[in-house]
Structure 1
Amino acid sequence: MSAIIPFTSQTPFDKVVSDIREKGWSITDDFFSDEMVDALMMDISELDNSYMKQAGVGRSSDHQVALNRRSDYIRWIDPITPARSAFLSAMSELRLEFNRRLFLGLWDYEAHFARYEEGAFYEKHVDAFKGKSNRVLSTVLYLNENWAEGDGGELVLFDECDETVELGRYFPLKGRLAVFLSEEFPHEVLTAQRTRHSIAGWFRVNNSIQNTVDPDQ
């Protein structure tokens, strides 16, 4: 099998890096090639819910399933298929660009597939609490074909200074990439009216101290 070409643009990172520099968040359509997105969609479509797990809230010892707050299924991504390997390599390139241009000191990237069945949602939250997490930038890549008005599942992004103010509502359109500062921007996923697929991920810094290893996932 030939290698998957991840990008269609010769300068795929310019808009995202510029947006993060200027306002701390970015919504970019057609960031990846259709070949990449289609291959990732095929990967997650072949995953039965029994091979995924019910998503929870909190991390490490604070993790718990709370269906009244979040009701999607997830599976963490390892480079075990050509599509997943190509995706992780591409995000590694983006990590290096953030470090080169914005001096963010990003150390690694972790990501999982997310499946929202009809009726699933994720209430308003932030991905990291100030001074208590190693997550710096959150990413969401949408994989859905032919998402239409009325299908729900929008990402709602809120202002970092006033979380009652919406910055925008964004449909989970195929190939759309959202990136935002993990500590700064509350966000939610509105109730999906059909099955919704995406990849959620986080660029992280290394907060390991002496013999205490910074946990992932």
Structure 2
Amino acid sequence: MKKIAINKGLGSLLLLMVLLVQSTYAQYDPKAKEVLDAMSEKYQKIGSFESDFAYSMENTTQSISEDFEGKIIVNGDKYRLKMGGQEIINDGSTVWTYLEEVNEVNIDNYDPSEGDISPTQIYNAYQRGFKYVYVEEETMNGQTYDVIDLLPENTNNQFFKIRLHISQDDKTLKQWQIFDKNGTMYTYEISNFNPDAEISDAVFSFDTSNYEGVEVVDLR
């Protein structure tokens, strides 16, 4: 058995709430809250969606740079996330973590009390334990976005800021960046967003018959 080590970029997506703030000017900005509430309402109405995304990780001081493409499917509290040779499937009670390189899947119980923020909660994470600041308007590829920084109240964590780019046109989240205190920046950019996808429950389970010779490690 090989213990699965989740790609750091993938982990940063799933552990979005694990952050560090050292800012003394952080506040609950009413303009930022208005934009965040509109975004949250948008995704709550959608319920289910699928999209592609591009991920990059950069640390200029350590000369580190990597890029991946990924795909995410969400339906309510369930999700399936694939990126960088790894796949995580959560049906709301069980989590499968598959590592392609060694053809191994770990199975564990999902425990929301552990405080991890899953991809199904990215759009309302700001409601718990964050301060938020409206930064600016920014235009990318002819589209205008509201830029908002989320600054966590917890001072004992690894990251110090999440920067969101939210479309002024349809209130969807186009891009977010996670800033690590060691100088690493993780960037996620959404593309091919489909809020009308027909998604079956079978998508949110791991079928061993589709992974010939897979080693199953049941940790429950």
Query: TM-score, structure 1 length as denominator?
Result: 0.24
More strand by share: 2
The structure having more radius of gyration, on CA atoms, is 2
TM (norm. structure 2) is 0.24
